[in-house]
Structure 1
Amino acid sequence: MSYAPSASAQPSSQASAKTRQIAHLAQQLQLLAQRTEQLEQLSATTAEQASYMRLLGGYHAAWFMASQRIMTPGDTPDEQGDSQTQQGQ
């Protein structure tokens, strides 16, 4: 008792299975190509945004340095001169 399909049915089923597999592979390759193109576009957008983020980081650093100079008492020459005259009296 053999459980294998008959010899006449086997070549056509193999051909249809192979055709299905090739069609599925073609569909998967097309999907891969679309996603690769989308990844390329997203990477370009990310690179552009990274340059803007770098500029924004520079602006924030400048603001923090400027606020430190403004908020620190006795940092300006006028205040330093006043504090020295008060200490000398």
Structure 2
Amino acid sequence: MNSSAQTSQASTKTRQIAHLAQQLQLLAQRTEQLEQLSATTAEQASYMRLLGGYHAAWFMASQRIMTPGDAPDEQAAAAEEQQ
């Protein structure tokens, strides 16, 4: 092989290595960003779980309030009124 072909191959190889290094740097940045987003999502999921518990409690309480005659003391009062 002549020297111009070797120089061309060396420059191609150098260019490819530089491109690979750039792609690896971009991959590392995106991996770090994904890690940060995953941590944020995990934290938000715990808050969503608490919020779901609060909503369930509110629905149970509202059903208790909105359904007349469902409470035991109301049932006893209704039975006394019927007698």
% identical equivalent positions: 82
Whichever of the two has the greater Rg, that structure is 1
Cα distance in 2 for partners of 1:85, 1:25 equals 85
Tell me the number of residue pairs that the alignment of Structure 1 and Structure 2 aligns.
83
Shift of 1:12: 0.9
Cα RMSD over matched residues?
Answer: 1.5
Shift of 1:32: 0.5
Cα distance in 2 for partners of 1:78, 1:32 equals 66
Larger fraction in helix: 2
2:6 maps to 11
- Which of 68, 74, 77 matches 1:82? 77
Cα distance in 2 for partners of 1:86, 1:79 equals 11
Shift of 1:43: 0.7
Deviating above 3 A after TM superposition, structure 1's stretches of 4 or more consecutive aligned residues are none
Normalising to structure 1: TM-score of the pair?
0.84
Normalising to structure 2: TM-score of the pair?
0.89
- Which of 28, 33, 37 matches 1:38? 33
1:34-82 Cα offsets, whole Å, 9 max, x none, are 0111111111111111110010000000000000100111023442123
Q: Give unpaired runs (5+ residues) of structure 2.
A: none
